[in-house]
Amino acid sequence: MKRCLFLLAACVSLALSSGQAYAQRYLPGMKGVELRGGFAEGSKSPMNWYTGFAVSGYTKRANHWVAGAEYLLRNYDYRGNAIPRAQFTAEGGYFLKFLSDPTKTFYLSLGGSALAGYETVNWGERRMPDGSTLLDGDAFIYGGALTLELETYITDRIVLLASVRERALWGSSLGVFTTQFGLGLKFILN
């Protein structure tokens, strides 16, 4: 009996290790929903963060497009007071996969996106607590972003995202460039 169980376990182990089957990933037409967030660099406050939501779809050769919305909050110090700068942006972009492993578990992509939105400084309040007046005001912003993104499959339907992004937005009176570091989850729908 022990010999039979040992042979059965050996056969199952050989069958599982010899030719592993992986689910089909990055097929053209597959769509997913992304939830992402992280930290933004560019001012001295540690509480600069962003969050976003996007829909993405895969094309040929494991490339993908993305369309979404993002909220970014950066705080600036003024005489001990935090002055918030909030950006609400819409995004449309395309990512090219340039590196992956043979098991199709890790993908590294480089993407470019067009961004447009609205920026508010101190939530539209121009008067500061000490009586001074802000010269910077609310504005429409536009520009783009360059993103390096790592995707790794946790399961066949859940993907962990890690990204580094450089945003360049014109129309703002406070600066053009913002670097973002973030994580996210993508849920594959079909």
Are 40 and 74 in contact by the 8 Å Cβ rule? The answer is yes
End-to-end CA distance of the chain: 45
Quote the domain boundaries for residue 40. 34-188
CA 89 to CA 71: how far, in whole Å? 7
pTM (2 decimals)?
0.80
Q: Please, what sign has the CA dihedral across residues 122, 125, 126, 130?
A: negative
- CATH number for the domain that contains residue 91: 2.40.160.20
Task: Determine the average pLDDT of the residues in 123-136.
Answer: 77
Token pair 């492993």 is at which residue? 101
17 occurs within a structural domain: no
89 occurs within a structural domain: yes
3 occurs within a structural domain: no
Report DSSP state, residue 128: -
Which positions ≥6 away from 69 have C-beta within 8 Å?
52, 53, 54, 88, 89, 90, 91
Q: How many residues does the chain have?
A: 190
> What pLDDT score was predicted for residue 21?
43
Rg (CA), the chain: 23
In sequence order, what DSSP letters do the residues of 60-101 get, joined into one string? GGG-EEEEEEEEEEEEEEETTEEEEEEEEEEEEEEEEEEEE-
Number of domains in the chain: 1
Q: At 3, is the pLDDT very low, low, confident or very high (cuts 50, 70, 90)?
A: low
Give the tens place of pLDDT for each residue, 77-118. Answer: 888 788 888 999 999 999 999 998 888 788 999 999 999 999
Give the tens place of pLDDT for each residue, 34-88. Answer: 999 999 985 555 688 999 999 999 998 889 999 999 999 988 888 878 888 899 9
4 occurs within a structural domain: no
CA 170 → CA 12, 21, 65, 140, distances in Å?
A: 60, 48, 23, 9
167 or 122, greater pLDDT: 167
Which positions ≥6 away from 65 have C-beta within 8 Å?
56, 57, 59, 92, 93, 94, 95
